[in-house]
Structure 1
Amino acid sequence: MPLRLPAAYLILTALLWIKMALLRYFTFGEIAWRHVGADAAAAAVLTSLLALLLPGRGRGVACWLLDALVSTVLFAATLYFAHFGSMPTYTALLELHQVPQVQASVQSTMDPLYYLFFADLPVWVAAGFILRKLPIMRDASMAYGRWVAAIALVACAGIVAGGVRQGLGIDNELAAADSEGFLGYQVIAAIKADRESRQASAADLAQTVSEVEALQASFPYRKSASAGSAPAHFGEAAGSNLIVLQLEAFQNFPLHLKVGGQEVTPVLNELADESYYFPRVYQQIGQGNTSDAEFMANTSIYPTAKIAMSTGYGDRALPSLPRLLQQDGYKAFTFHVNDVKFWDRNRLYPALNFDRYFDKPNFVNDRFNEFGASDEELYRFGLEEMAKTSAAGTPFYAQFVTASSHFPFKVPKDRQRLQVPESLEGTQLGDYLIAANYTDYAIGQLIEGLKKEGLWDRTTLAVYGDHYGLQPDDNDPAWVGKELGIKYDSRVSRLNIPFIVHTPGQSGGQRVEQVGGQLDMMPTIANLLGKKPRDAGIVAFGQDLLNIDRNVVGSRYYLPTGSFFNDEVLYVPGTGFDDGTAVSLDTMEPVKDLSPYRSDYDYIMKLMGLSDRYVRLLPKR
């Protein structure tokens, strides 16, 4: 039976090729035939290695196992893309243990068609029983088959290597995955990670800091001011306590929005009107999602987007807002109703130097959602701890990470306070507005509690969203805009998050239209508290939004690497700069002339590269 090995080899290759094409369809919405040759070559490399390395007796089981393994990986990649909008690399496997914590969220993005990846596996099982009754191939057929596999491996490896060399020049992760295929993209990611590691190991921290300062000095961030003068608003809240609320999945559009004549966020509306309100701030999180938002807001360092920063850099002594305030005797606490091990926060919080964290066991579980306790319970417990610390005469920094507005936005009936129109009932948009309204209500309860405890007039309160909430595949922008009577763009509006800072005694608000990102939050808060990060040896990759008149904000996870927001546009690259796209932040219409934005692109790519090198070089604790 001289043809059994080549036939099995070709069948398995074809099956893997089809599954990789299926991944393209699920992720990119089409099968780009000009690129599927890369998938065919990658499939042939895998099956050729199988034929060359394994003996004949175990090859049947090995074929089934390889098919099952590849099917599982492609299934997971498809589900990951559906949930996060990004193509996963091999490093995402390090975060698979987080999935049970957000099981309801993941299940809600599941499409039954994804199980097509496993449709052929029963056939392999049946074939295995049949082949067990047939004689093993003779040595001659084995030798013949291995020659076929060896020739295919050499040819296809050359094709894959050529594609990888081309893909290494593409910074846009989605474009690279589309061009070189899923497996080729993994090879590209590994090569780039190795390059970056070697470059960082050969670099010097002091030299890197000098390069960062020189690069930032080349960009016209600063407003004109007389030499030696203090920054605007510097020290307005000096000596006050600091509370930072990181709101789960909270976009900016619900603020000042009415639905059926009801304000969706009456508490935040009033707070924004009496505070510094930054309506043009955008998320910049990486693979760590909510935990990356905490990382950025406390460090002003870019996430690498290759691994959750809590996982990859939780062993560092991170320059941070807690360390900055602890120089003045502050105690720093953080509160979250989930298990502290979720997203490796048990490593992140010591890295940021929080004095103490309070997680799930500290709260009464009122079974609000899959995380357990509600925002009301989060604030109730936190208020007790803050009051005790203040009574001891110690200023504090308290960070609260909320969870009541977590996807899929299901608020218990007895906690719902907003009645959405009939057209929104049962929709994700309607559920989202109800969840945003509850989150807003709980903030009101916290503010009332601060006033009763005599803390309100001695506290700076900062509020921001960690990332978007509405899933783009489930909420057509035109429909959202029509239902709410607003302009809504699938990227600009979706990635736009609120940022509000209220200082003690502040009554007259200031709407600050400066574009910013999560990197800019720590420098802005520090300025109001009378602290200069640079004087404390902290390198901030963001800017104080109260003291700049131009900005550029990089993003590279929910948008591909090379994307940025500046004061005019959201720019997203293609395979390079010239084939990218831009949309106006004001009109949300496409911008055709990209030439004015080339310098911003070059700048932000250099800045993000330096940020990656900087965080790699930070000392371990």
Structure 2
Amino acid sequence: MLLKRSLPYLTVILAVKVLIVRRVAFGSWGIVPFLVGELCFVLLVAALLDARRQPTAVGTLVADGVISALLAAVLVYQGYFGRVPSYESLAWAGNLSDVGASVAQLFRPAYLLVFADLPLLWLAGRFVPDFFAQAMPGAARKAVTWVAALAMLGNVAYGTVKPTPDASSAAYRHGLFNAQVIRFARSRVQSRVTVDASDPAGVQKRVEEVAGFPSGVASGPTAGKAKGRSVIVILVESLQAVAVSRTVDGQRVTP
């Protein structure tokens, strides 16, 4: 009976798509972070869709379509900027008109494969009776929902308390979707931070704590090498890795 319902297929399809996107974005499968972060999210989505007394094809296809669109956005954004996008950067997409054409050129036909299951699910719903009907008994559905929700909550709580400064590292460790929740939670925490402006050292320490950067004296083979010397720091803004070593009409555009 379960194999005649959409739930197991949707769960497997979403899990496989997320796993493939992780491989493309991070260059590694990261099975353990996938199980801890991504799979719990997929199970929670599937369980919530199955919680309706009369699950519909529209709800399932919309949920699948939205998640697939976000995964496609991750692929395109990562291909252009070399990092995983945040929810803020996706919200700012409308302001990227100057580079919109360049970003669009990075879209590969292969990315459309993340949407390939949508017509298949729709066709299955047309020809398989009650394909989108409830699949799990009430007790099993509640168990899956609670386990997945608590696992995600623990993941997000840990990521909020022990943040990772780099967004891509956070997405790898906690999951593509969990990292966005962590980022949102961190922004709420940061908005409530109070410091004493008369204590510069205290301000710096608090900034490092909020940002998630390690505090304390730097260590390592290069620590203190420039002590007592004049140091020139060159900060290059908006230099994207996509331009490195590229040529136009035989002329290199970057050193």
The residue aligned with 1:166 is 158
Going from structure 1 to structure 2, the CA distance change for 1:18 and 1:8 (only over 3 Å counts) comes to same
* C-alpha separation in 2, matches of 1:280 and 1:46: 47
Q: How far apart are 1:156 and its partner, in Å?
A: 1.3
Going from structure 1 to structure 2, the CA distance change for 1:214 and 1:8 (only over 3 Å counts) comes to closer
* C-alpha separation in 2, matches of 1:124 and 1:93: 28
Amino acid at match of 1:181: G
Going from structure 1 to structure 2, the CA distance change for 1:77 and 1:279 (only over 3 Å counts) comes to same
Question: 2:82·2:241 contact (CA, 8 Å) conserved in 1?
Answer: no
Q: How far apart are 1:96 and its partner, in Å?
A: 1.8
The residue aligned with 1:282 is 235
Establish whether residue 190 from structure 1 lines up as the match of residue 179 from structure 2.
Answer: no
The residue aligned with 1:245 is none
Deviations 1:536-592 (A, max 9, x none): xxxxxxxxxxxxxxxxxxxxxxxxxxxxxxxxxxxxxxxxxxxxxxxxxxxxxxxxx
Amino acid at match of 1:30: S
* C-alpha separation in 1, matches of 2:102 and 2:10: 34
Name the structure with the higher strand share.
Answer: 1
Question: 2:86·2:167 contact (CA, 8 Å) conserved in 1?
Answer: no
Q: How far apart are 1:280 and its partner, in Å?
A: 5.0
Question: 2:57·2:122 contact (CA, 8 Å) conserved in 1?
Answer: no
The residue aligned with 1:18 is 16
Q: Taking CA–CA contacts closer than 8 Å with sequence separation of 6 or more, which of the two structures ends up with the larger relative contact order?
A: 2
* C-alpha separation in 1, matches of 2:131 and 2:71: 32
Question: 1:51·1:145 contact (CA, 8 Å) conserved in 2?
Answer: no
Higher Cα Rg: structure 1 or 2? 1
* C-alpha separation in 1, matches of 2:135 and 2:125: 22
Q: Secondary structure at the match of 2:30?
A: coil
Q: How far apart are 1:407 and its partner, in Å?
A: 10
Q: How far apart are 1:110 and its partner, in Å?
A: 2.8
Q: How far apart are 1:175 and its partner, in Å?
A: 2.4
Question: 1:108·1:408 contact (CA, 8 Å) conserved in 2?
Answer: no
Going from structure 1 to structure 2, the CA distance change for 1:10 and 1:59 (only over 3 Å counts) comes to same
Q: Secondary structure at the match of 2:31?
A: coil
Q: Secondary structure at the match of 2:48?
A: helix
Q: How far apart are 1:72 and its partner, in Å?
A: 0.1
* C-alpha separation in 2, matches of 1:143 and 1:21: 24
Deviations 1:259-303 (A, max 9, x none): xxxxxxxxxxxxxxxxxxx985133x5xxx59xxxxxxxxxxxxx
Percent identity, aligned pairs only, is 22
The residue aligned with 2:144 is 152
Q: Secondary structure at the match of 1:34?
A: helix
The residue aligned with 2:26 is 28
* C-alpha separation in 2, matches of 1:14 and 1:197: 39
Going from structure 1 to structure 2, the CA distance change for 1:212 and 1:108 (only over 3 Å counts) comes to farther
Name the structure with the higher helix share.
Answer: 2
Establish whether residue 125 from structure 1 lines up as the match of residue 122 from structure 2.
Answer: yes
Question: 1:87·1:174 contact (CA, 8 Å) conserved in 2?
Answer: yes
* C-alpha separation in 1, matches of 2:28 and 2:20: 9
The residue aligned with 1:465 is none
Match of 1:86 among 65, 83, 87: 83
Amino acid at match of 2:248: D
Deviations 1:329-377 (A, max 9, x none): xxxxxxxxxxxxxxxxxxxxxxxxxxxxxxxxxxxxxxxxxxxxxxxxx
Question: 1:104·1:408 contact (CA, 8 Å) conserved in 2?
Answer: no
Q: Aligned-pair RMSD on alpha carbons?
A: 3.7
Q: Secondary structure at the match of 2:85?
A: coil
Q: How far apart are 1:65 and its partner, in Å?
A: 1.0
The residue aligned with 1:417 is none
Amino acid at match of 1:430: T
* C-alpha separation in 2, matches of 1:22 and 1:3: 25
Question: 2:81·2:242 contact (CA, 8 Å) conserved in 1?
Answer: no
Q: Secondary structure at the match of 2:247?
A: helix
Establish whether residue 178 from structure 1 lines up as the match of residue 172 from structure 2.
Answer: yes
Amino acid at match of 2:67: V
Establish whether residue 429 from structure 1 lines up as the match of residue 217 from structure 2.
Answer: no
Q: How far apart are 1:408 and its partner, in Å?
A: 8.6
Question: 1:61·1:128 contact (CA, 8 Å) conserved in 2?
Answer: no
Consecutive unaligned residues of structure 2, counting only runs of 5 or more, are 205-216, 218-223
Going from structure 1 to structure 2, the CA distance change for 1:85 and 1:155 (only over 3 Å counts) comes to same
The residue aligned with 1:42 is 41
